[in-house]
A and B are shown apart, each in its own frame.
Chain A
């Protein structure tokens, strides 16, 4: 659809929304969750893959990673968990002071001391004989303490100096394997008959596309608006593509996050205002990445009939390595290539990614309520 626009970013936004609709339609993606990643992720290792989706995504269909400064998912999860406090164990009170003294005396006779996970069992064996009426409440208290402490303690090695990096599933090789077993597809886009209407999507309101024609350019640039108002066609082929769920590693506990979200006050929160800080309307932890869309072996051909001046053509060609609309993928490795040919009233861009190099094109985003399972 070619229209005249009033605000400077509108032309780029409209054509990008049209692309969004075309992509989601062709790849079975839900407009209630999908978000484009700009620039896309081009991971080469576990760490670079995880860095790409370890993020609290902003509420936009077009997540421009240069524009939106987002905290990591891990940092927000860790901050929430560190702001939770659970009541002191009632173990001593429940079993009685006398029994506690005897139990402590017995424990001292065991050498080496029993490992943490066997404590409820050791207690139970002792208590069935020596304090049967509190044997079960005692082992329940000890087990509960282990479960609560374990959920928080599992996070510790990932924090502070010498912290372990926060890991996720998939690993880089899992993603490569899944992709190589996945189907391919091809589809095309034509701006003269696209559908820029995103009012039924999860971000129906004001949601500009910030980049213009090349990665890092502004949508406001004259050259970008000229491009966006031209007839643009894209034909794209993926050798493989897949939607893969993103699962945080061992450090993550879905019950703990749900508990924090479901209970607004103390306990479990240390401070009554904490809930708002993270989960409130302008909180820092309102969304999460549920799954990612990756493609392997991309071949994309774009044409535009924009009437670029010779100097504009030179500028576009000179910045070929920045990468161009709609994928916005900078040429950062030999696996990625971009080439531009121009003539009067015609420009052709060819973008390619070599097989075996997954490109993360977007995310399925969940609001935190759905992410923790509350529908």
Chain B
């Protein structure tokens, strides 16, 4: 016999399987607020990515605007220093440096990107033994991931008075609506008799906050919810369109800088002058332990839930009158007036619940939550490879590029 938590966990496993999601990262949002199109649609939509999610299988995502990726990233970048110091003068010799410096002054102001090649061309005639190391040094200076990230953030996302500018994400609400309209349909079934109720390997390890009972917010240990949970429950779910919408932060974000910070718990690139450190950023007290990488949105949702328990007429009345704010498994009337819940009982007292949403109106089903390590995984590799390639830089390849 299952209790409500088993059922919820079984449904979670059924849902991620049905939606082709990974057990490592899927997080159900319930209940989700409506994304009302209008002036605030972009900030509301971007808040799904910018608000740092709590660690739970079914987070009540709307919870708080208190912890924000963009602000935290700005804080992080104030605590980092460049990856290494490159002493061009020592590498090419003081005399060569003086001669090269005098030469540069005679040239029309070069752009920064031209410097490595320019040095190499000059050095081929004037100091050929240091032509490679010098141009390589200059390239490494230009490519430093930390200094570049800081420079970008202060130049583009800080105004002339030195104050922060609003954040953005690459894709906006309208992009999401357009992509959703052409996204594939999907349907799946769920049966509590054959469900897998083990979520111990999922990312939150079966943390239970945010669980509700049979109808929205009812205690999941109430008698009715238990009766429901111990019966055979079937779910038929279909979605006209379903989309896993990936988004990336705007140009303010340098994945390689954050990757380097995550990959090194102490020492460089962390500045010893800042009280922001690895532990209070990515550790248990940290403000960037998790990230919402994708939002899963659907439209034209239709869900039918049946329970073979026998509900007495009093129970039936309680269930029917206890609010239209949503039945298991989707509690929310998330797109507002756009989705409906209906409950009916047959002569044997068996229950059928149908939930449907109006075609074309996006309903947020969940977000993919990644740990900081997963989120920066690729980017830290990228940061290191950038750094390696900067060290191994050959001027020819830049000139040819």
Q: Which residues of A contact B (CB under 8 A)?
A: 24-30, 32-33, 86-87, 90, 115-121, 124-125, 128-130, 132-137, 139-140, 142-144, 146-151, 153-154, 169-171, 173-174, 177-178, 180-188, 240, 242-248, 250, 252-259, 262-263, 267-268, 288, 290-291, 364, 366, 370-375
Contacts and interface: CB of A to CB of B under 8 A. Distances in A.
A218 to B, nearest CB: 31
Contacts of B333: 182-183, 185
Contacts of B89: 132-133
Contacts of A255: 71-76, 276, 287
A243 B62 contact: yes
A246 to B, nearest CB: 6
Interface stretch (B9-17, B77-85, B381-389): B77-85
Interface in B79-130: 79-82, 85-90, 101, 104-105, 110, 112, 115
A132 B88 contact: yes
Interface in B309-351: 321-326, 331-333, 335-339
A116 B162 contact: yes
Given A147-B74, A253-B74, A187 B323 contact: yes
B157 to A, nearest CB: 9
6 tightest A-B contacts by CB?
A255-B75, A290-B64, A247-B65, A183-B333, A373-B67, A116-B162
B33 interface: yes
A32 B60 CA distance: 11
Contacts of B62: 243-245, 291
Contact of B217 (A25, A118, A173): A25
B34 A366 contact: no
A117 B158 CA distance: 6
A360 to B, nearest CB: 15
A137 to B, nearest CB: 6
Interface string B35-53: 0101110010001000110
Interface string B135-163: 00110011010110011011100111111
A371 B150 contact: no
B288 interface: yes
A151 B40 contact: no
Given A146-B154, A148-B78, A267-B275, A116 B161 contact: yes
Interface string B150-184: 11011100111111101000000000000000000
25 contacts: A115-B160, A128-B138, A136-B82, A139-B150, A142-B154, A146-B158, A147-B77, A178-B33, A178-B34, A182-B333, A183-B337, A184-B324, A185-B333, A187-B321, A240-B337, A244-B62, A245-B63, A250-B163, A252-B71, A253-B75, A254-B67, A255-B71, A256-B75, A364-B63, A366-B63
Given A245-B65, A290-B64, A372 B287 contact: yes
A269 B332 CA distance: 43
Given A24-B217, A182-B336, A258 B280 contact: yes
Interface string B283-304: 0111111000000000000000
B8 interface: no
Contacts of A183: 324-325, 332-333, 336-337, 339
Nearest to B324: A185
A246 B85 CA distance: 44
Contact of A147 (B75, B219, B321): B75
